[in-house]
Amino acid sequence: MSAPSVRLRWSEELIFSGGAEGGPEMTVDSAGVAGPSPTQLLLLSLAGCMGVDIRMILEKSRVPVAFLEVLVDGDRATTEPRRFESLRLVCRVRGPEDGDQPKLERAVQLSRDKYCSVLHTLRPDLDLEIRIERV
């Protein structure tokens, strides 16, 4: 299986634009003004990967979902390379019945432990906290 490829071109100051070949383009802005910053994109990628996993696992488990939102924030090192040292994810979901809570927890666990390729690309010593909120 080949890896996805993207192209990013510098346009002005610390602003770039690009995307996957043939796909939509987006702006990446170091300041996070004209578009997400690279570190915000990393968090968005993690949220997106886990969100897709959780949604697919719940669908296969026949658990109804009316709303799913993944929030991510983190703490970065104070010295270069200022990597993320810890991340906190909140999976906000509406729709599953109380009896489906074990399936919801299992979906999050499977994404975290097995399926989320973005998470598994990050450093293994990353401190990760995941919480589920029923809304």
Instruction: Give the pLDDT of the chain (135 residues) as one tens digit per residue.
Output: 666 799 999 999 999 999 999 999 999 999 999 999 999 999 999 999 999 999 999 999 999 999 999 999 999 999 999 999 999 999 999 999 999 999 999 999 999 999 999 999 999 999 999 999 999
Q: How far is CA 9 from the centre of its chain?
A: 23
20, 69: one domain: no
CA distances from 61 to 35, 51, 118, 134 (A): 36, 15, 23, 18
Looking at the structure of the chain, the number of domains it has is: 2
22, 45: one domain: no
- The CATH number assigned to the domain holding 80 equals 3.30.300.20
Task: Provide the token pair at 3.
Answer: 């890896």
In the chain the beta strands, taken as DSSP E runs, fall at: 6-12, 15-20, 26-29, 67-76, 84-94, 127-134
3, 16: one domain: yes
Phi, psi of 52 (to 5 degrees): -65, -45
64, 97: one domain: yes
72, 94: one domain: yes
Q: CA end-to-end span of the chain, whole Å?
A: 38
Q: How far is CA 74 from the centre of its chain?
A: 12
47, 94: one domain: yes
Specify the pLDDT at position 121.
Answer: 95
CA angle 31, 76, 89 (to 5 degrees): 95
**DSSP structural state of residue 99:** G
61, 119: one domain: yes
Domain that holds residue 5: 1-36
12, 68: one domain: no
Specify the pLDDT at position 4.
Answer: 76
28, 46: one domain: no
Specify the pLDDT at position 17.
Answer: 97
